[in-house]
Chains A and B, each alone.
Chain A
Amino acid sequence: MPRYSGELMIKVALLIGAFLLGPGLAAGQGLDPAALLRPATDTWPTYNGEYSGRRYSALDQINQGNIGSLTLAWIYRTRGAAIKSTPLEVNNILYFTAPDNVWAVDARFGRPIWHYERKSEGDHIGHRGLGMYKNWLYFTTPDAHLICLDAKDGKLRWDIVLADGKLGYFATMAPLVVRDHVIAGVSGDVTDLRGMLTSVDPDTGKVQWRWYTEPDPGQPGSETWPKDSDALLHGGGMTWMTGTYDPALNLLYWGTGNPNPVLVGEGRAGDNLYTCSIVALNPDTGKLAWYFQPSPHDVHDWDAVETPVLFDAEFQGKPRKLLAQASRNGFFFLLDRTNGEHLVTSAFIDQTWSSGVDSRGRPIAKPSATPSPDGALVEPGSDGATNWMAPSFDPQTNLFYVVARRVFSIFYRVAEGKAEGWGGRDRNLWANTTLRALDYKTGKVVWNHELGEEEGIAGILTTAGHLLFSADVSGNMLALDPATGKTLWHLNVGGEVVASPMTYEIDGRQYLIVPVQDVMYAFAVPGKT
Chain B
Amino acid sequence: MIKSLGMWFAILLLAIVGSFGLSNSLAQAQAPAQDAAPPKDPAVERGRKQFGQSCGFCHGVDATGARGPDLLRSPLVAHDVKGDLIGDVMRHGRPDKGMPAIPATDDQVADIAAFLHSQIAEAMNSADVPQGYPADRLLTGNAEAGKAYFNGAGGCKNCHSPTGDLAEIANKYSPIELEAHMLYPEGKFTTVVVTLPAGDKIAGPLVHIDEFSVALRDASGEYRSFARDRVKAEIQDRLAAHRNLLDKLTQSEIHNLFAYLQSLN
Contacts and interface: CB of A to CB of B under 8 A. Distances in A.
Interface of A: 164, 166-168, 190-192, 230, 234, 261-262, 350, 352, 368, 372-377, 379, 408, 410, 412, 414-415, 417-425, 427, 429-430, 450, 452, 472-474, 476, 487, 490
A318 to B, nearest CB: 39
Given A410-B183, A429-B183, A167 B140 contact: no
A167 B126 contact: no
Given A412-B133, A429-B246, A476-B212, A375 B254 contact: yes
A476 B69 CA distance: 52
B156 to A, nearest CB: 16
Given A166-B79, A373-B137, A420-B123, 18 more contacts: A166-B75, A166-B78, A191-B123, A230-B69, A234-B70, A372-B251, A373-B140, A374-B138, A408-B184, A415-B126, A417-B64, A418-B65, A419-B126, A420-B64, A420-B122, A421-B125, A425-B128, A490-B211
A191 B125 CA distance: 9
Interface residues of B, number: 45
Interface in B50-80: 60, 62, 64-65, 69-70, 72-73, 75, 78-79
B249 interface: yes
A299 to B, nearest CB: 14
A417 B183 CA distance: 29
A408 B179 contact: no
Interface string B134-172: 000111110000000000000000000000000000000
B15 to A, nearest CB: 40
B57 to A, nearest CB: 16
Contacts of A420: 64, 70, 72-73, 122-123, 126
21 contacts: A167-B75, A191-B124, A230-B65, A352-B247, A368-B250, A368-B251, A373-B138, A374-B137, A375-B179, A376-B251, A379-B246, A408-B183, A408-B184, A414-B126, A414-B130, A425-B128, A425-B129, A429-B180, A452-B211, A474-B208, A490-B212
Contacts of B60: 418
Contacts of B238: none
Contacts of A452: 210-211
B255 interface: yes
A484 to B, nearest CB: 15
A459 B249 CA distance: 32
Nearest to A190: B124
Contacts of A168: 124
B126 A422 contact: yes
A474 B250 CA distance: 32
A414 B128 CA distance: 8
Interface string B168-194: 000000001001100110000000000
B243 A430 contact: yes
Residue of A191, A261, A379 with most partner-chain B CB within 10 A: A191
B5 interface: no
A415 B64 CA distance: 12
B127 interface: yes
A476 B126 contact: no
A419 B65 CA distance: 11
B118 to A, nearest CB: 13
